[in-house]
Amino acid sequence: MGTMPVFPLLMSMAIPMMMSFFIQALYNIVDSMFVARISENALAAVSLAFPMQQIMGAIGIGTGVGISASISRAMARKQQDRADALANTGIFLCLCYTAVFIVLGLTFTHTFYTMQTNVAEIVEGGTQYLSIVWAVSFGMFFGVLFEKMLTSSGFASLAMIAQAGGAIFNIIFDPLLIFGIGPFPKLGIAGAALATVLGQIFAACLAFWFNHNRNHWITFDRQKILHPDLPAVKEIYSIGFPSMITMGLASMSSFFINQILLQYSTTATAVYGIWLKLQNFCFMPAFGMNNGMVPILSYNNGTRRYDRVWGTIRYALTIILSLMAVLTVVLELIPNTLLDLFSASEGLRAIGVTAIRTCVISLVFGGVCVILGSAMQALRHARFALVVNILRGFVMPVSSFWLLSAMFHDVLKVWAAVPVADGTACLAAIFLYLQMKKNLLAEEADSIY
């Protein structure tokens, strides 16, 4: 990470992660496509569950980002014991997360749905779906953890294989378990949830096996797992907390926006659920680039090779801006085709075409936020990333949806809130990134003299 030319290094780290995230996003879309064939209410139920799935993802990915950056830093300093302490402490944290979500899955899901709607099909189907996803959450937490260990140690291709394996498992078993094909039982929306968690468990097992057999930087130790290293906990959360806040606030944002859209119809929430899946799919290149970029930045920041730091960020931004621009043009041209994938009714199509064409304007802004926010986290300016994440994840989306809804009372006009929110956050990200760069250049000058 300290000697290979920056662009080939970034590509070797990022492309496997971009491909694995792409496949992962694809199965999220495929999942919704199959559920939509059950009914529009089933699609609405899964859409309402998405914010709660984001909470799990926020915790797991935030912890993984903290571990990835911390292990890379320990590697740069040749601190084998430190890398082991971080890895085993991460396992302990994931065990704690699993216990919490088992309790939530068994006790809270029905209440969560009745708080939002009285449509019996949505409540019943959503309760089944979210109960399984939460109660069998260990595959998601450990999958993310073990994949981040691989990425931070330079085994991005193995992390890609693990993620892709879980996604392909899910895609195969979704229709089998939802519709009862062949010897499999017809489980409906519960089958979609079961395919999801089984795919996550499969990915976690693959990633664990790769770490155990190929990753010589990491040694798993039962005693270290049961007796976590408190400084390691602090280091993990100091880096990963902004990512948790980002996705956690996105979850809260989705919940509140759904409440605004429910004032119009459950169809509007189904459209928003489709957009979130499409948005997630479009941001997969940025998330993959982020995962490949963070270990490089952390390593070279640890060795004070700032020329490699700025080069990595410059290449990452150029690539993601180009991809987002292409995706924006393509999606503007095919909104009806996209809605056909979700068995759209005429009512859903009447809202969805305008929603997609308006929301895709935000992709370029969002891509800049993802790359610059990750750079701030990796370069010890997590507080700057936190500001951007709060703006983009919660403050601007919720306030924009609420304000436009209050002003126009028109479901077709409220979608402008998406590009407004991301555009504002993008301006804040650029300003704070320039301030961070100024700070680091000053530190570099001080170290020379």
Those residues whose C-beta lies under 8 Å from the C-beta of residue 274, and which sit 6 or more positions away, are: 32, 43, 47, 338, 339, 342, 352, 356
Lowest mean pLDDT among 1-5, 225-229, 341-345: 1-5
CA–CA distances in Å: residue 39 to residues 77, 114, 121:
55, 19, 9
Question: What percentage of the chain carries pLDDT values higher than 90?
Answer: 48
Task: Taking residues 407-418, report their average pLDDT.
Answer: 95
> Are 357 and 337 contacting, i.e. CB atoms less than 8 angstroms apart?
no
Segment (H or E) for 360: none
Question: What percentage of the chain carries pLDDT values higher than 70?
Answer: 97
pLDDT band at 79 (very low <50, low <70, confident <90, very high): confident
Residue 1, pLDDT score: 65
pLDDT band at 448 (very low <50, low <70, confident <90, very high): low
245 closest CA partner among 48, 100, 94, 54 = 54
Segment (H or E) for 392: none
Whether the pLDDT of residue 136 is over 90: the answer is yes
- AA letter at 224: K
Whether the pLDDT of residue 32 is over 60: the answer is yes
Lowest mean pLDDT among 235-249, 311-325, 390-404: 235-249
**Mean residue pLDDT across the chain:** 88
Show the tokens assigned to 424.
């504002």
pTM score, whole prediction:
0.78
CA distance 251 to 57: 10
Show the tokens assigned to 387.
């500001």
Alpha helices per DSSP H over 334-345: 335-340
Q: Side-chain half-sphere of 83: how many Cα atoms within 13 Å? A: 23
Task: Taking residues 168-173, report their average pLDDT.
Answer: 91
What are the tens digits of pLDDT across the range 368-397? 999 998 889 888 787 888 899 889 989 999
pLDDT band at 222 (very low <50, low <70, confident <90, very high): confident
* DSSP secondary structure letters along 123-136: HHHHHHHHHHHHHT
Separate counts of helices (H) and strands (E) for the chain: 18, 0
pLDDT band at 360 (very low <50, low <70, confident <90, very high): very high
Whether the pLDDT of residue 158 is over 80: the answer is yes
